């Protein structure tokens, strides 16, 4: 069964991007490109994007983060549309990072260890294709590294008696910003909901 909705049943979307923030509330960097020379971008889905974004903006070497939607069939979806599971999109976080300070393997190690990548169309009590696990890459090297990291983590999960990884790994087609309300949500609402929860298995790559 597909991890996401069929494009034939997807909503229509819109040509004009939805309104969002322009400046990161924590780093004060622009949420929009161009980004500094030497930075790379990867887009990650680990369930509700509120907690995921906070996880990565706190990591040394991350230049800026942004909540958004990716992996689906319609342009410029809204949060309400994405939550229907009829857009094919999942909640994601764009992570713009300096690989000289934060090597990709260490970033991927954080990704695998801080959520449950075996749950298919859900993350904990959050159910729907909009909560599926995914890695959307922007370079060939990222794609190769992501696939290798998945293989390594699956071996660790097998040894621990855990399930099979369901994470979608593919090149990024498009990243759509979420509404301003969702950007850096847990900075603005420190006691807000965070659904992040790992499964206690160490990923045997990189170093924290």
Please enumerate in sequence order all residues whose Cβ is within 8 A of that of 14, keeping only pairs 6 or more positions apart, or say none: 75, 76
Please enumerate in sequence order all residues whose Cβ is within 8 A of that of 33, keeping only pairs 6 or more positions apart, or say none: none
Q: Where are the beta strands (DSSP E) in the chain?
A: 40-46, 62-70, 90-97, 122-123, 126-127, 133-137, 168-171, 176-177
Pairing of strands 168-171, 133-137: parallel
52 and 93 Cβ atoms separated by less than 8 Å: yes
Point out the catalytic residue in the list 48, 83, 194, 203.
48
Distance CA 86, CA 82 (A): 7
Residue 105 has what DSSP assignment?
H
Residue 83 annotated to the active site = no
124 and 116 Cβ atoms separated by less than 8 Å: yes
Please enumerate in sequence order all residues whose Cβ is within 8 A of that of 21, keeping only pairs 6 or more positions apart, or say none: 31, 180, 183, 184
- Token pair for 19: 């309104």
Catalytically active residues, by annotation: 48
């Amino acid at each position: 069964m597909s991890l996401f909705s069929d494009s034939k049943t997807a909503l229509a979307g819109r040509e004009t991007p939805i309104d969002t923030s322009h400046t990161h509330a924590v780093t004060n960097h622009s949420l929009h490109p161009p980004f500094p020379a030497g930075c790379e971008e990867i887009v990650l889905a680990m369930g509700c994007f509120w907690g995921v974004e906070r996880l990565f903006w706190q990591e040394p070497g991350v230049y800026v983060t942004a909540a958004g939607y990716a992996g689906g069939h319609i342009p410029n979806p809204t949060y309400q549309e994405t939550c229907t599971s009829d857009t094919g999109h999942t909640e994601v976080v764009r992570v713009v990072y300096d690989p000289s300070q934060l090597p990709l393997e260490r970033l991927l190690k954080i990704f695998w260890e801080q959520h449950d990548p075996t749950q298919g169309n859900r993350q904990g009590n959050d159910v729907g294709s909009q909560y599926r696990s995914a890695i959307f890459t922007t370079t060939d090297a990222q794609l190769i590294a992501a696939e290798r990291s998945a293989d390594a983590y699956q071996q660790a999960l097998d040894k621990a008696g855990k399930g099979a990884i369901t994470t979608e790994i593919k090149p990024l087609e498009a990243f759509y910003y979420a509404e301003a309300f969702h950007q850096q949500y847990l900075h603005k609402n420190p006691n807000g909901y965070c659904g992040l929860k790992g499964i206690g298995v160490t990923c045997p790559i990189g170093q924290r």
